[in-house]
């Protein structure tokens, strides 16, 4: 770079912007962020826009998507963030614990189960057509992690609700369709309701370009590989630790407890009728989530209860 260009970029502030982006990338790498995964960018108002193209299943994969169930909640012992064995059709200690809470008949326990529910994520390969916030992503193949709302959009395109709508395969390179992603912030969560597929068209009219894009796809099988999941016993140990279930609980005879409570009230001059003893508290997870997979999780608990 010449001295003149260096001075010009310095005045424009582009050197600072470039360094900031490099630092952000470095921080992402240090925080184990997978730079293969594309994420839509939103502004301060929570709005975002991009155009992507869902790609077909890569060689060796049966479907153009894979889905993974995870658990992420906080307890007295810290955070529990793990893949759920239910992804593989196996028993999972968290789901079993949640089903017991759900089956207890207690509304409080059901609320705990909701907070500790499994979350559903999908992974697909995409081609980024337009990303105004990050133009360097345009023309590149990425993995895209998305939830049930986006998957519903895909299903609606493949199996439209009305007879005057034509079914399409959004993942087809020739007869698929670009997806216009329109993000809004609604009640604190990202909302994709206004997102839509364009009219069907080929991604490119050049098969050589299409083949090049196809060759750059990422293997989706890795997300459900055995090494991505801990054993049932290891997950159980972690769950017990996070929820503090291994901590000894002080138990007291109900009659003794009632006598002590009565003595304490009389000592303080309170002779009113004692209130009903509250139900024992149950350790709960923290953190709210969107309703993206609410129906799926509640349906899963119901099946466990009735099985």
Give strand pairing partners of 182.
Answer: 49
The answer to whether residue 254 is domain-embedded is no
Q: Is residue 5 in some structural domain?
A: no
Q: Which of 102-106, 157-161, 162-166, 198-202 has the lowest mean pLDDT?
A: 162-166
- The DSSP code for 195 is -
208 part of a folded domain: yes
Supply the pLDDT for residue 288. 40
pLDDT reading at 292 higher than 70: no
DSSP H helical ranges for the chain: 3-12, 14-30, 93-103, 107-115, 148-158, 207-215, 232-243, 254-267, 294-306
- Torsion 215-29-293-44 (CA) sign: negative
- Write the pLDDT tens digit of every residue in 127-154: 999 999 999 999 999 999 999 999 999 9
Q: Per-residue pLDDT for 87 more than 80? A: yes
Residue 267 placed within a domain: no
CB crowding 267-281: b at 16 or more within 10 Å, else e? eeeeeeeeeeeeeee
* In the predicted structure, residue 247 carries a pLDDT above the cut 70: no
Q: Is the pLDDT of residue 257 over 50?
A: no
**How many domains, the chain?**
1
pLDDT digits (tens, 9 = 90+) for 264-287: 444 444 434 444 433 333 333 434
The verdict on residue 231 lying in a domain is yes
Domain membership of residue 28 (yes or no) is: no
- Of the candidates 84, 73, 69, 48, the one whose C-alpha atom is nearest the C-alpha of residue 289 is 73
Lowest average pLDDT, out of 21-30, 45-54, 264-273, goes to: 264-273
CB crowding 125-143: b at 16 or more within 10 Å, else e:
bbbbbebeeeeebeeebbb
253 within a domain of the structure (yes/no): no
Question: CA-CA distance, 55 to 216, in Å (whole number)?
Answer: 11
Residue 3: pLDDT band by 50, 70, 90 thresholds? confident
Is residue 96 in some structural domain? Answer: yes
Residue-wise pLDDT for 154-171, tens only, equals 999 999 999 888 999 999
As a residue count, the chain comes to 307
Higher pLDDT among residues 120 and 33, named by residue = 120
The whole domain housing 299 covers 33-246+282-306
**Which tokens go with 56?**
């077909």
- CATH at 295: 3.90.198.10
Rounded mean pLDDT, 81-101:
97
Least trusted range by pLDDT, from 190-199, 247-256, 272-281: 272-281
* Residue closest to 234 by CA, chosen among 67, 83, 99, 115: 83
Query: What was the pLDDT predicted at 1?
Result: 62
State pTM to two decimals: 0.72
């Amino acid at each position: 770079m010449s001295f003149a260009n260096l001075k010009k970029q310095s005045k424009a502030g582009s050197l600072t912007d470039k360094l900031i982006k490099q630092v952000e990338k470095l921080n992402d790498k240090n925080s184990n962020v997978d730079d293969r995964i594309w994420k839509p960018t939103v502004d301060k108002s929570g709005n975002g826009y991009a155009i992507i193209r869902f790609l077909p299943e890569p060689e060796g994969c049966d479907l153009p998507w894979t889905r993974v169930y995870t658990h992420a909640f906080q307890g007295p012992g810290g955070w529990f963030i793990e893949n759920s064995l239910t992804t593989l059709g196996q028993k999972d200690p968290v789901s079993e614990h949640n089903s017991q809470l759900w089956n207890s008949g207690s509304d409080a326990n059901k609320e705990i189960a909701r907070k500790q529910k499994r979350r559903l994520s999908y992974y697909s390969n995409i081609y980024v057509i337009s990303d105004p916030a990050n133009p360097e992503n345009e023309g590149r193949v990425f993995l895209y992690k998305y939830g049930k709302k986006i998957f519903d959009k895909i299903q609606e395109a493949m199996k439209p609700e009305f007879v005057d709508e034509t079914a399409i395969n959004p993942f087809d390179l020739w007869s698929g369709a670009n997806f216009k992603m329109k993000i809004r912030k609604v009640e604190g969560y990202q909302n994709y309701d206004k997102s839509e597929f364009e009219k069907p068209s080929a991604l490119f009219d050049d098969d050589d370009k299409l083949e090049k894009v196809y060759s750059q796809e990422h293997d989706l099988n890795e997300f459900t590989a055995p090494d991505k999941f801990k054993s049932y016993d290891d997950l159980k140990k972690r769950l017990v630790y996070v929820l503090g279930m291994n901590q000894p609980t002080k138990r007291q005879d109900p009659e003794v407890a009632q006598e002590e409570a009565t003595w304490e009230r009389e000592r303080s001059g309170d002779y009113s009728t004692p209130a009903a003893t509250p139900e024992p508290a149950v350790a709960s997870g923290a953190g709210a989530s969107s309703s993206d997979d609410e129906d799926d999780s509640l349906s899963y608990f119901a099946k466990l209860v009735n099985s």
